[in-house]
Structure 1
Amino acid sequence: MIDKKTMNEDSVEEYDGIAEDIFGPIYPIIVGQITDKCNITTGICLDIGCCGGHLGVAMAQATNLQVILMDRLENALKIADARIIQKGLQKRMYTLLGDVHQIPLPSNSIRLVISRGSVPFWQDRPRAFQEIYRVLAPGGAAYIGGGFGSIEQKERIAQLMKEKDPSWGKDKKYAAKERRKGLEEEMHKAGIGIYEAINNESGNWMCFRKPIIN
């Protein structure tokens, strides 16, 4: 199985296959949760650490957002480009090679930033959160974290993943608790004091907005 700390160009295809075959049903559910919370369905959306683009594609299909799929791995973007074409979304989606620590986009240009599962890859999380905040447009929102959409989906995925790797899921509850604590500390280090931590049995997310200054 792929270790998040060691995923590289060579392991992207395996990771994308798991995302497609096992995790596939969760993305529309998570998109619904994001749109309900953030209430942003038009403008530009940035999906950070997109890998094969599953979350961003689901967002484009459910809204009128223009979606940028960003990843630091070129092989991930090749898969994402193919998925965009397969879904017929070329007019509203494109890929971007970039790193969350130095996002290659102008300040105040993105209405919605999303990311599922990429945080464990970030080397400097306060810097990453600062960059996300920088590119957000006033009134824009970010929804960052990880989860399965629902308890039912979490249980289904756990069963399938344990069939692939019996050690999958061990100590995840403790790890999730520690990860939540760490993320909140890193948000404060980034200077983002106003946010909502969304924590439940199916996932853990951070949601924050850039205020509109009159």
Structure 2
Amino acid sequence: MHEKKDKFDKKGAGGMDEIAKTLFAPIYPVIAQDVIDRFGITEGTCIDIGSGPASLAIAIAARSSLSVIALDSSGDMHEAASRNIAKAGLSGRIHLLQGDVHDIPLADDTADLIVSRGSMFFWDDIHTAFREIYRVLKPGGKTCIGGGFGNKELRDAISAEMIRRNPDWKEFNRKNISPENVERFRTMLNEIGVPSFEILYGDKGFWIVISKTAGGALP
């Protein structure tokens, strides 16, 4: 299996990079700080899955001592990410890794923290993807995977502009963060046997928090 939209051309990667550095720019520091405040994980290894132009990876690294692995299936996105990481002065702290969430090229128990914003809605097989995420998470580690805009004010302002640019975006976003989609992911996590998880749903978006137990391989 492969992530949908995993073959970005340079134009597509450039468009994502541009919107991440303009309209979406305010959300990444807010999300990063919320993750750090919530879990208190500031050292070790973080994986940003579907990292795109590395906006969230940069925000996490800038607010912690974590070594961040920016995982994305697109080489063109990594070109943009490399430029952004260098500009932020974080080349020694953020490492680019090309790979697919359905077959993460990392060893078991690698990450203290796993984050991802906006990527999981494009994954072909969420059962396989979350099995892989659980595999590479260390015992005692945490995930914060989902979608959102940081807070209500940012959500409302960005949503209004996105709808102005493309009216179809309203329905696309509604489906992604709908109660029905929340239930779909909840069902999946129960089906694959994740023993400890929480789904956060509200003004900050839709986020899946997983806590891995010691010796906790999935059945």
Q: Which residue of 1 aligns with 2:30?
A: 29
Contact 1:199 1:205 in 2 (8 A): yes
Superposed CA deviations along residues 46-105 of structure 1, whole A, max 9, x for unmatched, are 000001000010000011100010001110111111111111101111100000111001
1:35-184 equivalence runs, <5 A: 35-170=36-171, 172-173=173-174, 175=176, 176-184=178-186
Q: Which residue of 1 aligns with 2:194?
A: 192
d(CA) in 1 for partners of 2:172, 2:165: 17
d(CA) in 1 for partners of 2:172, 2:28: 24
Larger deviation: 166-175 or 124-133?
Answer: 166-175
Give structure 2 stretches of 5+ with no counterpart: none
d(CA) in 1 for partners of 2:87, 2:4: 30
CA shift, 1:163, in A, is 2.5
d(CA) in 2 for partners of 1:182, 1:13: 32
d(CA) in 2 for partners of 1:14, 1:101: 25
The normalised TM-score by structure 2 is 0.90
d(CA) in 1 for partners of 2:169, 2:124: 23
Q: Which residue of 1 aligns with 2:203?
A: 201
d(CA) in 1 for partners of 2:179, 2:98: 32
Larger deviation: 151-160 or 168-177?
Answer: 168-177
- Asked if 1:19 is matched to 2:20, the reply is yes
CA shift, 1:109, in A, is 1.4
**Aligned partner letter, 1:76:** M
How has the CA–CA distance of structure 1 residues 52 and 148 changed in structure 2, closer, same or farther, with 3 Å as cutoff? Answer: same
Superposed CA deviations along residues 16-49 of structure 1, whole A, max 9, x for unmatched, are 2112111110011111211122221100100000
**Aligned partner letter, 2:185:** L
Contact 2:4 2:123 in 1 (8 A): no
SS of equivalent to 1:148: coil
The normalised TM-score by structure 1 is 0.92
d(CA) in 2 for partners of 1:22, 1:178: 28
How has the CA–CA distance of structure 1 residues 64 and 138 changed in structure 2, closer, same or farther, with 3 Å as cutoff? Answer: same
SS of equivalent to 1:94: strand
- CA-based RMSD of the aligned residues comes to 1.7
How has the CA–CA distance of structure 1 residues 84 and 187 changed in structure 2, closer, same or farther, with 3 Å as cutoff? Answer: same
d(CA) in 1 for partners of 2:5, 2:212: 33
**Aligned partner letter, 2:187:** E
Give structure 1 stretches of 5+ with no counterpart: none
